[in-house]
Amino acid sequence: MIPESWTEARRDEDGELLGFLRPADDAPGRFVPVTVFGYALGEAGDEDDGRQVLEAVGLSYLADRWSLALDDRPDPISVQIVEAGPEQVVVKSVDFGYEGNIGTTFRLDTPVGTRLRRG
């Protein structure tokens, strides 16, 4: 689950949750813009910079292809996001080289850490 210390960033027009501003570990007063499931979208900056990153990116990251690291496999697999929120993200395999079936879903608790990567 997303920590309470993270600040929500919502779109002005409709109040849609775009992501969060995570306090930077090594820089007091600085924030890292992250997705609704905790993946960093940029470097630490002031609050306005972080909001600008989230507004510019919007929710487009939900349509990207992602890589998922699995414990029993040396190489990550390609996945797409099916559902994303502050409590969990659901992804499905789109990797034809994966021994499991195409469309196999994985539920990940948030924040996702390093298991899920963009690209």
Contact criterion met (CB below 8 Å) for 88 and 107:
yes
Neighbour tally for 16: CB within 10 Å: 11
Helices (H), the chain: 47-57
Q: Is the pTM of this model over 0.85?
A: yes
Q: Which pLDDT tens digit goes with each residue over 54-63? A: 999 999 999 9
Summarize pLDDT for 63-117 with one digit per residue, the tens: 999 999 999 899 999 999 999 999 999 999 999 988 888 999 999 999 999 999 9
